[in-house]
Homo-oligomer: A and B are copies of this chain.
């Protein structure tokens, strides 16, 4: 008889739960195709909405806005609006967001070593 926690993780592995939750949490806030690349683009400096869009190339406006709002809601990036006409909006990493950069760097290195040549 299996005994499953309400969260879905088996009780047998209860000692592993914090790490599992950590992994699931991180995976969740980075879910989707674009967030890793957006954060990596913000790694060196703050960027405008239009710069991010140009960097990603073929993302739609709707998707980009959704990604940015999601990252902001999770405390990963900051959004600063300059009330000009035309408007100017800059995005930058929070300290929480900066803590994700080593993960993304490792992912880049792994892909360079093991991925098909692009």
Complexed CA–CA distance, A114 and B30 (Å): 13
- A108–B54 CB distance below 8 A: no
User: Chain A at the B interface: mostly helix, strand, loop or mixed?
Assistant: helix
Nearest CB of chain B from residue A13's CB, rounded to whole Å: 6
The interface on chain A, measured as residues whose beta carbon lies within 8 A of the other chain's beta carbons, has a size of 48
Number of copies: 2
- A23–B10 CB distance below 8 A: no
Complexed CA–CA distance, A12 and B118 (Å): 17
Given A17-B118, A54-B10, A100-B110, also A23-B5 (CB < 8 A): no
Given B12, B55, B56, which contacts A54 in the complex, CB threshold below 8 Å? B12
> Is residue A89 within 8 Å, beta carbon to beta carbon, of the partner chain?
no
